[in-house]
Amino acid sequence: MELKSKLSKKYQIMVNDVDFTKKLKLSAIFNYFQEIAGLHADELGIGFNTIQRKFGVVWVLIRIRVDIMEYPLWNDEIIIETWPQLPRKFEFDRDYIVRDLHGNIIARAVSTWVILDAESRRLQKSDVIAIDYPPIIKERAIDCILGKLKPYSEPKLAYKRVIGCSDIDINGHLNNSKYIDFIMDCFTMDEIKKYRARSIQVNYMDEALPGNTIVMRRCRESYAPNIIYVDGLDENSNNTVFRALIDIVPNE
């Protein structure tokens, strides 16, 4: 079978994928990205089950940025495209474009993944799963560097959340899309009615396991009032589990 440089898939926005405004939830688009990345990795011979069985490693998302120009509504159909870049020493980049059925781009995303040893959870070099890639699409969905995130104001407690079994993915830790629900729960209903996320970057820094309590904090950045910083700390270790920056704009 000829390997595809890019994979495209149509999605219908189901009722479970929208919030109370009937617009696509941020966590749902993260789920879509995770699914289509997995499907393309399967086609390339480096899917989750394959690399765990052959090489004893697992995929882990460590950074992602999503820019949303337009939020689709309940029952809308969208098309998501994804393609990988050539891996670096440790990191694998993957890009995404979201289009409406007229071909208009309504969202863009770039992500960085690594592989960890399934038992020790230690970082592994990318050549552990070296393959012959199809022709690489060098165009990036977003021209940016997914750098470190830090607050410039003092984050304040938003709430605490105990990680439950339903939050856990096949790697045994908190699923990357669940973090997005946790982040959005830092906002009030009124804020979500008034504002929408135009862009979000999330850096996943430590594993969150069942029974862990995550201390959720947020602040509005002093250098730009439309930028909201959110992070999550493990209550016991005080380790930072994730950091996020959200660029919000008023709803039209």
Instruction: Count up the domains in the chain and report the number.
Output: 2
Is the Cβ–Cβ distance between 78 and 98 less than 8 Å? yes
Q: Is the pLDDT of residue 170 over 80?
A: no
> Is 120 contained in some domain?
yes
Structural domain contains residue 183: yes
Does the pLDDT at position 173 exceed 80? no
Q: Which residues of 41-57 are buried (b: 16+ CB within 10 A; e: fewer)?
A: beebebbbeebbeeeeb
Please tell me the distance from the alpha carbon of residue 206 to that of residue 27, in angstroms, as a whole number.
19
Are residues 74 and 111 located together in one domain of the fold?
yes
Break the chain down into helix, strand, coil percent, rounded to 5: 20, 40, 40
The whole-model pTM stands at 0.94
Tokens 């008034």: give the residue.
Answer: 194
Q: Are residues 109 and 171 located together in one domain of the fold?
A: no
**Whether residue 110 sits in one domain with residue 223:** no
For residues 23 and 81, membership in a common domain is answered with yes
> Domain of 181?
156-250
Q: Are residues 66 and 180 in the same domain?
A: no
Does residue 12 sit within a domain?
Answer: yes
4-60 confidence digits (pLDDT tens): 999 999 999 999 999 999 999 999 999 999 999 999 999 999 999 999 999 999 999
**Whole-angstrom distance, CA of residue 249 vs CA of residue 252:** 9
On whether residue 142 sits in a domain, the answer given is no
Domain boundary among 113, 129, 145: 129
pLDDT bin (cut points 50, 70, 90) of residue 137 is very high
Query: What does the pLDDT read at residue 125?
Result: 97
Q: Examine the domain organization and report whether 120 and 11 are in the same domain.
A: yes
Q: What is the pLDDT of residue 30?
A: 97
Do 161 and 125 lie in one domain? The reply is: no
What percentage of the chain exceeds 90 in pLDDT?
Answer: 87
CA-to-CA distance for 174 and 163, rounded, in angstroms?
7
Query: Is residue 216, in this structure, part of any structural domain at all?
Result: yes
Give the tens place of pLDDT for each residue, 101-127: 999 999 999 999 999 999 999 999 999
For position 232, which CATH number holds?
3.10.129.10
**235's tokens:** 């209550």
Same domain, 69 and 161: no
Q: How confident is the model at residue 1 (pLDDT cuts 50, 70, 90)?
A: low
Residues shown for the chain = 252
User: What digits encode the pLDDT tens for the residues 57-77?
Assistant: 999 999 999 999 999 999 999
Judge whether 67 lies within some domain. Answer: yes
The owner of tokens 């856990």 is: 168
Residues 174-206 have pLDDT tens digits of 888 999 999 999 999 999 999 999 999 999 999
Q: Which residue, of 110, 129, 148, is where some domain finishes?
A: 129
Asked if 97 and 32 sit in the same domain, the reply is yes
Last residue of a domain, one of 111, 129, 147: 129
Asked if residue 116 and residue 209 are part of one domain, the reply reads no
Instruction: Assess if residue 146 is contained within a domain.
Output: no
pLDDT tens per residue across span 214-249: 999 999 987 788 999 999 999 999 999 999 999 999
With respect to residue 21, please indicate whether it lies within any of the assigned structural domains.
Answer: yes
Mean pLDDT of the chain: 94
**What SS3 class is residue 186?**
coil
